[in-house]
Structure 1
Amino acid sequence: MNQFKENLFKTREQLLNEISSLSFDEFNQRSEVDKWSIAQVCHHLFITETLFVKAIVFGLDQKNSTAAEHIPIQVVSDRSKKIQAPKISEPSSDPFQVPQIIQLLSDSRTKFMDVLSKIDDVSVLKEIAVKHPVFGNLPLDQWVELLYLHEQRHIEQIKDLKAMS
């Protein structure tokens, strides 16, 4: 679990480094009408993390041990494979201020880490699975891993968007 926490911390630090110096216009600029702005990518990350908290809490509350297989979730790192964001995790089209998004991301990360810190025996995360909209039944330890892999994917997207502006 310590490795997961370290990866969560490093990935978030990298994300904040990418966005913290952007102007309002750079942050909210859309390269195309049907493409997300950097602000929307970050809002999507906030929504996703909030949903992951709910999924993990739900799984822990249900306490239904299911023999869910570990799935090769590393595919999320391959940006040549387009993954449609589930409707529930789509960002707002409203513009955002950088500090506003940083605060939202901070709040969602605090909640996520709080949930993890309250788990006495982290091995339970391997034994409980919750349905993920893209991967199907996913063990909770993979939900944790997927959070930073997903964020890393979007950091690369943000770098591309910055290079285009």
Structure 2
Amino acid sequence: MSDLVNDHLHETRNNLVNEITSLSHSQFNNRLSMNMWSIAQVCHHLVLVEQATIKAIEWGLKKVDNTQTERKNVHLILDRTKKFKAPEIVEPDIGPFEVQSIIELLNGSRNKLLIFLDTVEGKSLLAKKSFKHTALGELPLDQWIEQIYLHEQRHIEQIKEIKLLLNARH
């Protein structure tokens, strides 16, 4: 994994934690409507996505066919005008959640990801092998890693928006 990707993962996660650390229990768990997630649910979703990404990379590495997949513009994830339906496997629990326990889950999933990536032999395989992403289609495995922090950046913007809407209510 490149230093740049590692820096982006680290910086984005720090930004996320900074956004949620000072939230009260009700700010963290309040849903503005039944078709919107709470900030806590957004964070739980990010944990689940990180865990699912590890699985996707594992499965992609095990695939026998080594077809070179075209690189995708993973930055499309940042376009919040495009809505994506979260696959069931990464839909968050209803909660409620504690801020500190979510931070621990986020730290745990990130540590698992970094440990897993350190164990990947032949890092060049990550650019050569792919696995199907629900929103982006067949995606090279190294771009699965990149989409983690881009997806997180997308949701940080959502969290900022939810915080503004919650503040407007009071």
Q: TM class by shorter-chain length?
A: over 0.9
User: Could you list the runs of 5+ residues in structure 2 that have no partner in the other structure?
Assistant: none
Deviations 1:111-130 (A, max 9, x none): 10011112343221110101
Query: 2:71 matched to which residue of 1?
Result: 70
Q: What amino acid sits opposite 2:47 in the alignment?
A: F
Partner of 1:13: 14
What displacement does 1:63 show? 5.2
Aligned sequence identity (%): 46
Residue 55 (str. 1) matches residue 49 (str. 2): no
RMSD between superposed Cα atoms in Å: 1.1
Q: Which residue of 2 aligns with 1:160?
A: 161
What pairs up with 1:119-158 in 2 under 5 angstroms? 119-158=120-159
Counterpart residue number, 1:107 = 108
1:127–1:10 distance in 2 versus 1, CA, 3 Å = same
TM-score (norm 1): 0.96
Q: Report the Cα offset of residue 57 of structure 1.
A: 1.6
How high is the TM-score relative to the length of structure 2? 0.93
In 1: Cα distance, 2:113 partner to 2:65 partner: 21
Structure 1: which 5+ runs fail to align?
Answer: none
Which residue identity lines up with residue 9 of structure 2 in the other structure? L
- Residue deviations 1:19-65 (CA, integer Å, cap 9, x gap): 01111100001111110000000000000000001111222233542
User: Is the 1:46–1:104 Cα contact (8 Å) retained in structure 2?
Assistant: yes
Equivalences, count: 165
